[in-house]
Structure 1
Amino acid sequence: MLSEEFFAAICGPPLTSNTAIAKDVSIYHQILSPAHANRATFKKSATPVGGLAVSASHIFAGQQDRAYVHVYSRLRGGQEAFIPVPEKVRCVALAGDTLVIGTAEGRLVLWETLTGRLITTPPCHVQGVSCLAATPFHILSGSDDSNVHVWSLPQLLALGDREEDPEPTATLSRHRAAITSLAVGGSAAHRDTNLAVSASRDKTIVLWNYQTGEALRTLLLPAVPLCAVLDPVARALYVSTDDDEDKLQHIYAIELFGEKPLLGARGAEAASTAVSIATPFGTVPSDAGAASCLSVSYDGSSLLSGHPRGGILQWNLGDGDSGSTLPVQLSNLNAAVTNVAFVPPHLPTSQAAATFVVPPKTSVQTIVKPSQMGRDYAVTVRFDEVDAQGDEAAFDTLVNQPGFPADFLNNAILAFENVEAKETEDADDKETEDASDLRRQNQELLEIVNEQQAMYQEALQKITELQAARS
């Protein structure tokens, strides 16, 4: 049975002297359905908001006010590596096999998990990097300086000597205060999309086409947004806010393509028109505190929120009207919950990760680290043999290409012809069988008629003999 699993990380000292919670546990691997339970725990970490990233085989946890990242093995259940970086870590994100680290000095540090190569960008942000979002081809970095930079991942990972330091391909600047959260839309068919969402302490959320730098829509909130996430198909946006004027914390659900779409050609208002969001999806219980992190399940039916007083709440996205949804507390971790992240259903569990990890198509032969004065690594890589049939299945090939391939159409035509030939052959066989059956029936009827005639002749002869005897 397919199960829903997620990771949660905490930061800070225990809130109470709860002996039921194991000491030093700071990262939790839990099952949401079919029944909520703990699967595994990992110790000795203090992960800031946005400081957790999970791959198929490992967990990457940046450390609060520290210049290093802990790497945990999901298979072995313990810490496996320690990654020092030049500056304090603020946030992390995974872009394929590359770990992206945002620092307190406004830099990006990229660590290739397969080779160990470390790449550092210049401090393009005036202040620290507050949040990150990654796609297979781009990285978005938000900062306390109110700007969002868009980076090309292939340019950052390019090998060889660089004449110039890497720079952002675009800068998204419409906010007037620190960026608190970033989200990027994605889908299975198109791995890289154009929709991005940035939230800021100026109480606004901006929807962007991040490749062109165009602001698609500005949303006005009654309180400071702390976290923003998109649902799996990027049709709805969920936002958690800090205290409003009534000292309440809310969760907002914003439909991007509802009855009054905010995006697309059917939008009732111009893109330059700001839209006020006033009605919340739900109100956070007063004893939980404002949600510092959100995560949507991969079927879009559940929303998890982590809170500074240790609670993890589950919101049913299909239950009730706006403003009336009540959450269910899954667990209390007895410390501030800073990260909640669902694990994609196709990723393996911690007990079977090695079975499902896809091996790389390259093999690293040698790695020569630079001297103290240098900055370039010398990496020798061998390309492994690839199956001649390709990695994509036939179904994926048909879905991802326009129209139908010629061989597919030819096979379909042949299939129809084979069906017609079989139907004709079956009809001929049936006609032959029917004719044979008719001849057999006629022969049986003829035998019955002959038998009846013989009996009639015999009876007639007996009658003639009796009449002759009487006379």
Structure 2
Amino acid sequence: MLTEHFIASIDVPNRKPDTSSATKDAGIFVYEHQPLLAHRHAFKKSAAAANCVAVSKSHVFAAQVDKAVVHVYNRDKGNQEATVPFPEKISSLALALADTVLCLGTDGGRVILWEICTGRTINGPQAHLQPVTALAVDPSSHFLLSASADSNIHVWSLPSLSSFIAPANPSPVHTLSNHRGAITSLAIGHSSTAANIVVSASKDNTAIVWDYKANALLATYLLGDTPLALALDPADRGFFATYEDGSLQYVDFYASPDNDAPLGATDTLRDPETSYTPITPPSSSRRSPGLDLGAGLSITLSWDGTAVLTGHSSGRVVRWSASGSSSAQGIATLPGPVSNLSVLAPTGFSSESDEKGFKVHTIVKPRLDLKANVSEGEILSPVPQAYVFNAQLVGSISNPNVSALESPRKGQKSAFEEALTHTSFPSNFLERSLAELAAFTSKPSTGASAAAAPVSAPAPAADDYMAIDSGASTNQDSEAQNAELKDQIAALQRVQKATFKQLADLKEEKKTWQAASGSGATKDDSEEKKKRKERMARALKGLGDD
């Protein structure tokens, strides 16, 4: 049976909790939404502001209000796993790269990346003038968007930020800057294509739809009041917004800006003539709950997109029909303002598997010792020496019926995958490795040839290394390069000679078996003859590759 859950977190409690309740001091609540609405679990000692909770398949991360710490809760064990301090107060969170990187926005306007499986942290530049109020990661994890109270949205390249050779002060790819007030929320689309969008809400009472990859404004909606939280529908056909009075509004991208009549398949976002013309949604698109719920601080959609859940300052969690066919229904009451809501992926599929191929059991706290490998002031490698990925591989590696004597056909796995899953080491790997080893050990490398030798060659003596004189003339450098190239050619000729010797031996074996087959060879001899032919064919192919 499929089961759907959602997680709700509260800000600082606005009323004294019930001391007789099992949820005393609880700040994060896990509810079953379908098929039975019920409270299932609670994590204690947490108070998180809006946009300050991120949920992965194994953990819950909650940045604490007015503290420079993040609480980490283990969903499998049901307890608090760690308290992680940071140099600045954290004002927003988001997960990226298959939930292995936690992106943190700070009160100082900085973006921090924390690799939870290695402990490596990357401190980005102070790109915003005020606190980072919202973070969003696109589905491909190629872009990170940071919104701030300074009314700007920066678009960052995540691969560039997390690279080991990233510049000391990276710059954003784009800056989206048409708002005139603090950004309150970001909602990014579900597409991995170049046409994906993001919607931003601001205290200037507008919501703007952006093509963040092309740095283009697509549409501006005049909402009348400040939207506090946003959520895009699963097909990116429109967005939901919550307000201070607790109401909910749906803005349809395919509706006419002048009236309530739909325009069929016409997408108003892609019309360049109206992209800079503000649109006022019809008043009928805004729904009142009919109850005194307080401000709508958070919003999320059910997994199938048929229901909208909103969290309010009164502590109520309300369920709305996405189609607007019914009124709001209260489904939970929490002891504080519901600052964050997140619907979890349903469980109970008959063939449920982890798409990521790994599982994070325990996070690795930020480590200050993970720095570039430096020796005597020279950077040997940008990758830290103690850089280790801590996770459990789940599932199983496919183990096809692979023969060491057959070449892979089209559509089969690569040679590396075959070697990884084979019961023994493939014979063609062994033959080519032995031939190369024999070629390089038959004549010891000296002088510049040591620099041309591959990794598998034995290390030469200390006096065999070629000395490089920084003050040598250009002619001397050219002579050294010519000598090195000559030694490389000689090494290749030795490999070729060893391969020719193998080929000659195989030809002699062929003649022997032909003679044996002419004098009444048995069926077993024919099979062995066939195998010898295949070995000769592989040797010829190896010669061609060399």
TM-score by length of 1: 0.72
Q: 1:308-334, CA deviations, whole angstroms, 9 ceiling, x for partnerless residues?
A: 1110000011342xxxx4110001112
Answer yes or no: is the 8 Å Cα contact 1:3–1:31 preserved in 2: yes
Answer yes or no: is the 8 Å Cα contact 1:57–1:354 preserved in 2: no
CA shift for structure 1 position 115 = 0.4
CA shift for structure 1 position 345 = 2.3
Q: Secondary structure at the match of 1:51?
A: strand
Aligned counterparts of 1:83 and 1:110: Cα–Cα separation in 2: 13
Q: Secondary structure at the match of 1:156?
A: helix
Paired letter, 2:50:
V
Aligned counterparts of 1:388 and 1:42: Cα–Cα separation in 2: 39
Which residue does the alignment assign to 2:90? 89
Answer yes or no: is the 8 Å Cα contact 2:253–2:269 preserved in 1: no
Answer yes or no: is the 8 Å Cα contact 1:221–1:278 preserved in 2: no
Q: 1:49/1:16 Cα in 2 relative to 1: closer, same or farther (>3 Å)? A: same
- Partner of residue 250 from structure 1, selected from 247, 250, 254: 247
1:178 aligns with 2:182: yes
Which residue does the alignment assign to 1:412? none
CA shift for structure 1 position 233 = 1.8
Which residue does the alignment assign to 2:233? 231
CA shift for structure 1 position 167 = 1.5
Which residue does the alignment assign to 1:460? none
1:120 aligns with 2:123: yes
CA shift for structure 1 position 287 = 2.0
Q: 1:357/1:207 Cα in 2 relative to 1: closer, same or farther (>3 Å)? A: closer
Paired letter, 1:227:
A
Which residue does the alignment assign to 1:272? 276
Mapping for residues 57-68 of structure 1, pairs under 5 Å: 57-68=58-69
Q: 1:58-100, CA deviations, whole angstroms, 9 ceiling, x for partnerless residues?
A: 1011101111101100000001122211100101011131101
Q: 1:310-367, CA deviations, whole angstroms, 9 ceiling, x for partnerless residues?
A: 10000011342xxxx411000111211100100122699xxxx998873179xx99x8
Answer yes or no: is the 8 Å Cα contact 1:137–1:192 preserved in 2: no
- Partner of residue 316 from structure 1, selected from 318, 321, 325: 321
- Partner of residue 100 from structure 1, selected from 99, 103, 107: 103
CA shift for structure 1 position 380 = 3.8
Paired letter, 1:108:
V
Answer yes or no: is the 8 Å Cα contact 1:85–1:109 preserved in 2: no
Identity, in percent, stands at 35
Aligned counterparts of 1:333 and 1:156: Cα–Cα separation in 2: 38
Mapping for residues 36-435 of structure 1, pairs under 5 Å: 36-95=37-96, 96=98, 97-135=100-138, 136-160=141-165, 162-187=166-191, 190=192, 194-242=196-244, 248-258=245-255, 259-260=262-263, 261=266, 263-265=268-270, 270-279=274-283, 280-320=285-325, 325-345=326-346, 358-359=357-358, 369-370=369-370, 377-381=384-388, 387=397
Q: 1:100/1:347 Cα in 2 relative to 1: closer, same or farther (>3 Å)? A: farther
CA shift for structure 1 position 137 = 1.3
Q: 1:142-185, CA deviations, whole angstroms, 9 ceiling, x for partnerless residues?
A: 0000000001111111014x444121111000000100000110
Aligned counterparts of 1:310 and 1:198: Cα–Cα separation in 2: 25
1:13 aligns with 2:18: no
Aligned counterparts of 1:84 and 1:388: Cα–Cα separation in 2: 42
Answer yes or no: is the 8 Å Cα contact 1:59–1:73 preserved in 2: yes
Paired letter, 1:298:
W
Q: 1:114/1:209 Cα in 2 relative to 1: closer, same or farther (>3 Å)? A: same
CA shift for structure 1 position 273 = 1.2
- Coordinate RMSD, CA, aligned: 3.2
Q: 1:382/1:329 Cα in 2 relative to 1: closer, same or farther (>3 Å)? A: closer
Give the gaps of 5 or more residues in structure 2.
256-261, 375-381, 401-409, 412-546
Q: 1:147/1:356 Cα in 2 relative to 1: closer, same or farther (>3 Å)? A: closer
Answer yes or no: is the 8 Å Cα contact 1:307–1:337 preserved in 2: yes
Q: 1:88/1:318 Cα in 2 relative to 1: closer, same or farther (>3 Å)? A: same
Aligned counterparts of 2:226 and 2:219: Cα–Cα separation in 1: 18
Aligned counterparts of 1:3 and 1:236: Cα–Cα separation in 2: 27
Q: 1:118/1:193 Cα in 2 relative to 1: closer, same or farther (>3 Å)? A: farther
Answer yes or no: is the 8 Å Cα contact 1:310–1:335 preserved in 2: yes
Q: 1:365-423, CA deviations, whole angstroms, 9 ceiling, x for partnerless residues?
A: 9x88158xx99854445899995799xxxxxxxxxxxxxxx98xxxxxxxxxxxxxxxx
Q: 1:346/1:4 Cα in 2 relative to 1: closer, same or farther (>3 Å)? A: closer
Answer yes or no: is the 8 Å Cα contact 2:113–2:123 preserved in 1: yes
Which residue does the alignment assign to 1:28? 29
Paired letter, 1:252:
Q
Paired letter, 1:184:
I
Paired letter, 2:91:
R
CA shift for structure 1 position 193 = 5.4
Aligned counterparts of 1:134 and 1:287: Cα–Cα separation in 2: 34
Aligned counterparts of 2:7 and 2:217: Cα–Cα separation in 1: 33
Give the gaps of 5 or more residues in structure 1.
243-247, 391-405, 408-471
Answer yes or no: is the 8 Å Cα contact 2:17–2:24 preserved in 1: no
Q: 1:61/1:172 Cα in 2 relative to 1: closer, same or farther (>3 Å)? A: same
Aligned counterparts of 2:307 and 2:77: Cα–Cα separation in 1: 29
Answer yes or no: is the 8 Å Cα contact 2:219–2:269 preserved in 1: no
Answer yes or no: is the 8 Å Cα contact 1:217–1:262 preserved in 2: no
Aligned counterparts of 1:172 and 1:36: Cα–Cα separation in 2: 41
TM-score by length of 2: 0.62
Q: 1:80/1:249 Cα in 2 relative to 1: closer, same or farther (>3 Å)? A: closer
Structure whose alpha-carbon radius of gyration is higher: 1
Paired letter, 1:335:
G
Q: 1:187-240, CA deviations, whole angstroms, 9 ceiling, x for partnerless residues?
A: 4xx377520111100001110000111000000011011111101221120001
Paired letter, 1:208:
W
> Which has the larger displacement, 162-171 or 46-55?
162-171
Paired letter, 2:163:
A
Matched residues, number: 370
